[in-house]
Structure 1
Amino acid sequence: MKNILLIEDEDNLNRGISLKLQKEGYTVFSAASVAEGLSLFQTNTIDLVICDIGLPDGSGLDLCSSIRQKSDVLFLFLTALDTEIDMITGYEMGADDYVTKPFSMSVLISKISAMLKRTEKTTSNVVKTGELILYINEKRVVKDNDVISITPTDWKLLMAFIEHPHHILSRKQLLESLWDVNTDYVDENAVAVNIRRLREKIEPDPSNPVYIKNVRGLGYVWEMGCERQ
């Protein structure tokens, strides 16, 4: 299931798009401002951002530029602006595509579906992050030309992080990645224990981690960029 962040300050449009996306099987995080959208982006795992350009507390263009500095998440603009210069500016800021208002919901859904499918098809089997190389299909991790011995739990943790580098993942999100059970009955300390074990295998200095950082009160974040090879 893909997670979509919708940032649109027009209430009726926001509600309409959210309901339609949910019916299509997407999880939707809804915001009406730059500040609210950025907060949701930083605290949730997002696969696609849909953003209006004109927002009450700033420009969606600036928000896109800010997000692009940390993430390669898909970014789709909703805008009433359809001049060539506006389109060029959007792409220069890092947008992947745009839809001009007014638009039909079917067109929007088709475009979203196509964008997400394209990324799935082009996903590489090899990811380089810092001094680590991950071979996804083989579930193999290499550090300094040596293969690291990892457990299935280690691998699940790694996948949760490298699929969303620079995103803060809460303990609950990580629990859900590790165990396919009701996480209300799993001790959250299990996350800390497994992260400590993983750090001992991948970090140059586990006591001063450079890959997995704690974010006090919120969870953990993968600090290194991830590059598909």
Structure 2
Amino acid sequence: MRKILLVEDDLSLIEGLKFALSKHGFDVTVSRTLQEAKKCFDQDEYHMILLDLMLPDGSGFELCRAVRQTSNVPIIFLTASDEEANVVMGLDLGGDDYMTKPLKLNELVSRMNAAWRRSGVAKEQAAELSANGITVKLLEGRVLKNGIDLELTAAEYRLLCMFMQNPKIVLSKEQIMQKLWDGRESFIDDNTLAVYISRLRDKIEDHPKQPSFLITIRGMGYKWNIE
């Protein structure tokens, strides 16, 4: 059964979509706010996200941006706005499709199936990141070192994915903090980032005090080095 994360705050639409999609064999989880959706995504694996643009505590664009840091799960925007700027922004951020309300269920299901078909090969290829004996299973949210599962926090996981997706590229501290936390967590500073880096090294490096994977480039930032 394919698991769907429905991010929508309109109660009448939620009930209708959940009932209809369940009849089509989908397992639907509902989130009515941006923060609730982020928590659901961090805690479970989904095969698709149906994402409203306007949420009580923020924009669906923000969730799309966060999801694309670690996952290629298909995302379809559901919104009352069909303005070209919003459509372009949604697709540029990594959305797979865009539907305006009121929705036609048969068309929605067809678009969902089309998104799965289009993404099939690409998602198989991008389902894992692997280097230096470290494997990240993106769709499962798992990290293994030499085949053994590692227990990472959400922040450590995001950091590792970011570095592995940008091998041999020096990333400044500012780039890392902006990309991972997008300015939402004001308590994140250079010292806090250094703590996250140190904790991640303790878990992934053979010799954390002399790291060979996640290395510091003095005066510039950090780099994921491939041996």
Which band: TM-score by shorter chain?
0.5 to 0.7
Give the letter aligned to residue 104 of structure 1. Answer: K
CA contact (8 A) 2:22 2:28 kept: yes
Residue 202 of structure 1: aligned partner: 147
2:58 partner letter:
G
Cα deviation 1:166-190 (Å, max 9, x = unaligned): x3x7xxxxxxxxxxxxxxxxxxxxx
Matched letter for residue 202 of structure 1:
G
Q: Unpaired segments of 5 or more residues in structure 1?
A: 133-142, 145-157, 170-194, 204-210
Flag the 1:34–1:102 CA change in 2: closer, same or farther, 3 A: same
Q: Which whole-Å CA distance do the structure 1 matches of 2:40 and 2:147 have between them?
A: 29
Fraction of identical pairs, as percent: 29
Aligned residues: 162
Farther-moved stretch of structure 1 (63-72 vs 5-14) = 63-72
Shift of 1:222: 9.8
- Alignment of structure 1 residues 80-229 onto 2, 5 Å: 80-124=80-124, 129-131=129-131, 162=137, 164-165=139-140, 167=141, 201-202=146-147, 212-215=150-153, 225=161
Given that 1:213 and 1:223 are in contact with CA atoms closer than 8 Å, whether structure 2 keeps it comes out as no
Q: Is the 8 A contact 2:129 2:138 kept in 1?
A: no
* Contiguous gaps of at least 5 residues in structure 2: 166-227
CA distance in 2, matches of 1:85, 1:50: 19
The alpha carbon displacement at 1:119 in A equals 2.6
Per-residue CA shift, 1:116-158, capped at 9, x if unaligned?
A: 23333555479762327xxxxxxxxxx69xxxxxxxxxxxxx9
Distance 1:5 1:128 in 2: 22
The one of the two structures with greater contact order (alpha-carbon pairs below 8 A, sep at least 6) is 1
TM-score (norm. length: structure 2): 0.61
Q: Report the alpha carbon displacement of residue 101 of structure 1 after superposing the two structures with TM.
A: 0.9
TM-score by length of 1: 0.60
Whole-angstrom distance in 1 between the partners of 2:35 and 2:124: 33
In the alignment, the residues of structure 1 paired with residue 99 and residue 82 of structure 2 have an alpha-carbon distance, to the nearest angstrom, of 9
